[in-house]
Amino acid sequence: MKNYSIARSRRLRSTPYTSRIEKQGVTAYTSYNHMLLPAAFGSLEESYYHLKENVQVWDVAGERQVEISGKDASKLVQLMTCRDLSKSKIGRCYYCPIIDDRAGIINDPVILKLREDRWWISIADSDVILFAKGLAIGKKFDVKIFEPNVDILAVQGPKSFMLMEKIFGKKITEMKFFGFDYFEFAGAKHLIARSGWSKQGGYEIYVENTESGLNLYDKLFELGKEFNVKAGCPNLIERIESALLSFGNDMDYDDNPLECGLDKYVNLDTDINFLGKEKLKEIKKKGVTRKLMGVIIDAKEISVSKSINLINGKNSKIGELRSGVYSPHFKKVIGIAMIDKPYCKVSEIFKISINGEVFEGKVCDLPFI
């Protein structure tokens, strides 16, 4: 398939790190929240192996923050998510499906509780700010909603702990998964969380002071030499193997969190108030009619740019593939698919047409690894 370059304009925002990653060899961009998100630095497979063994620094500024503050901030945040935040703590991150009144997923952000009345919603690729503003206006909530200048740098991989310790000291290695705290670098404070869109371990630095953030970026590469640090980005192979879901790819407005295996983040038994609660109760009672599952396909390559139907021996559609990639670990194509309930069985067999050629595949559980 021919590749095209991406046309730059003000609408497709650059990040403070763009000029640096372009020097470091970014080879593909995608767009995320109307911003450039690096999608490749050369070979996807080489980056995959490097991420699993070393440390990478990622420009994930596209993970924008929606800040909600004010008297009704907690009420509004809770209204948007089916996860019970009534016992949430300041200094913690929470992975929370945001759903609408029909229980369709609007986004699947990480939510940070900064204060009792101040939150950051660290969003996936959809305009949560408009949804939040609409609700606040309709409900006459006393809140302030805006997108602050925060540009996340992720430090990911098994050697991220040693690298971050060198810069911030031992305290940073003692932080728990999904906790966050403030750390000083060259006179500026940075919010750093133990999180990130890989299962290889690491941190996310929420850079508010751009100048200090750029110095920190350079420091990470200077001190990271001994850990073989490289510029990287969310890796398609690693994230599918780990089943980190991608909003807009694996799930969308027409899917509910129970279909997407997000049951852990759905709380229907407490007295919190959120949009779609009754609808979700109804869905839970009836049982879902389809589910996101893993699939393994006897093919060597794939490029998914729209859903691809999965067909059984009787020529009926049993589901659709939504993301896929060749995994060097399994030596096959692996993917994430929405499968109709009767076929949500491990080893269920199907056929799939990739570039006009038919391949066989089977259903499996998520995550792959």
Q: Does 99 bind ligand THG (CB under 6 A)?
A: no
3-state helix, strand, coil in the chain (%, to 5): 25, 35, 45
Site for ligand THG in 239-258 (CB under 6 A): 244-245
Q: Does 152 bind ligand THG (CB under 6 A)?
A: yes
Minimum Å distance from CB 330 to ligand THG?
20
Site for ligand THG in 16-75 (CB under 6 A): 63
Upstream peptide bond of 38 is cis (omega within 30 degrees of 0): no
- Beta carbon nearer to ligand THG, 31 or 312: 31
Alpha-helix runs per DSSP H in the chain? 18-23, 44-53, 73-80, 128-138, 160-168, 210-223, 236-241, 277-286
Q: Does 233 bind ligand THG (CB under 6 A)?
A: no
Pairing state between β 349-354 and 357-364: antiparallel
Binding mask 262-301 for ligand THG (x = CB under 6 A): ----------------------------------------
Q: Does 114 bind ligand THG (CB under 6 A)?
A: no
Site for ligand THG in 185-204 (CB under 6 A): 195-197, 204
Out of 74, 122, 200, 256, the only residue in the binding site for ligand THG (CB under 6 A) is: 122
Can you tell me the distance from the alpha carbon of 316 to that of 313, in angstroms, rounded to the nearest whole number? 7
Can you tell me the distance from the alpha carbon of 294 to that of 256, in angstroms, rounded to the nearest whole number? 17
Can you tell me the distance from the alpha carbon of 207 to that of 187, in angstroms, rounded to the nearest whole number? 13
- Beta carbon nearer to ligand THG, 63 or 348: 63
* Residue 144: Cβ-neighbour burial (10 angstroms; 0-12, 13-18, 19+): exposed
Q: Does 109 bind ligand THG (CB under 6 A)?
A: yes
Six token digits for residue 140 = 């006459």
- Beta carbon nearer to ligand THG, 195 or 327: 195
Residues that bind ligand THG (CB under 6 A): 63, 95, 108-110, 122-124, 152, 178, 195-197, 204, 244-245
